[in-house]
């Protein structure tokens, strides 16, 4: 809003000075001294216009930086965009920090970009990320019966005497999810190491 006002003001002033200078052309014939004074005033205004333009560029740049909290390669994350995500995350976990939310958001951007490279499609971003994780991470996990039985034997008290076969599916699901998280973390670290990430936001 402030930028539009400055632009409007400069345009109005410039128009007035141009009209005054044009009138100076006719004044030059009638009164040379008056016309010369008009030309001097236009030169002063032109200098002022250049200075104002430089200030306007500085204001635009400052406001642009204020509105951007991070860059992921050529992708800018704006303050408005981030705050919407932060408020949503905070409603589910009040103690979450802005840094945690921003880093999670950056990870989502990286995963979505990789999913789109593979031409995966889904109705929502969450579904697209899940499809990518299924394809690039979960598909490579293989659990051995020995590992599941070992987990069962070391957590017998938690199963309250239930036989291994009756809880095998639960153990497999838990261990698979744990392995997915470990592999996904490594995969994201690799993606981040290959990307240009610049965080401009400073936490209070």
- The DSSP string of 138-167 is GGG----HHHHHHHHHHTHHHHTT--HHHH
Considering just the CA atoms, what is the radius of gyration of the chain in Å?
Answer: 32
Residue 49 · residue 10 · CB < 8 Å: yes
Longest CA span, the chain: 112
Quote the pLDDT of residue 189.
Answer: 97
The pLDDT tens digits for 110-143 are: 999 999 999 999 999 999 999 999 999 999 999 9
Average pLDDT over residues 36-44: 51
Q: Is the pLDDT of residue 109 over 60?
A: yes
The pLDDT tens digits for 138-177 are: 999 999 999 999 999 999 988 888 999 999 999 999 999 9
């Amino acid at each position: 809003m402030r930028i539009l006002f400055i632009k409007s003001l400069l345009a109005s002033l410039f128009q007035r000075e141009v009209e005054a200078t044009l009138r100076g052309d006719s004044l030059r014939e009638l009164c040379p001294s008056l016309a010369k004074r008009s030309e001097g005033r236009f030169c002063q205004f032109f200098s002022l216009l250049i200075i104002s333009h430089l200030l306007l560029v500085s204001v635009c740049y400052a406001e642009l930086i204020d509105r951007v909290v991070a860059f992921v390669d050529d992708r800018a994350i704006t303050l408005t965009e981030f705050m919407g995500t932060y408020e949503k995350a905070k409603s589910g976990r009040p103690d979450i920090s802005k840094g945690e939310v921003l880093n999670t958001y950056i990870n989502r951007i990286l995963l979505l970009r990789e999913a789109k490279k593979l031409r995966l499609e889904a109705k929502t971003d969450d579904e697209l990320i899940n499809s990518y994780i299924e394809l690039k991470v979960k598909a490579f996990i293989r659990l051995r019966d020995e590992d599941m039985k070992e987990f069962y034997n070391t957590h017998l008290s938690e199963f309250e005497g239930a036989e291994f076969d009756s809880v095998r599916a639960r153990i497999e699901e838990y261990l698979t999810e744990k392995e997915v998280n470990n592999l996904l973390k490594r995969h994201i670290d690799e993606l981040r190491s290959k990307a240009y990430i610049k965080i401009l936001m400073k936490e209070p």
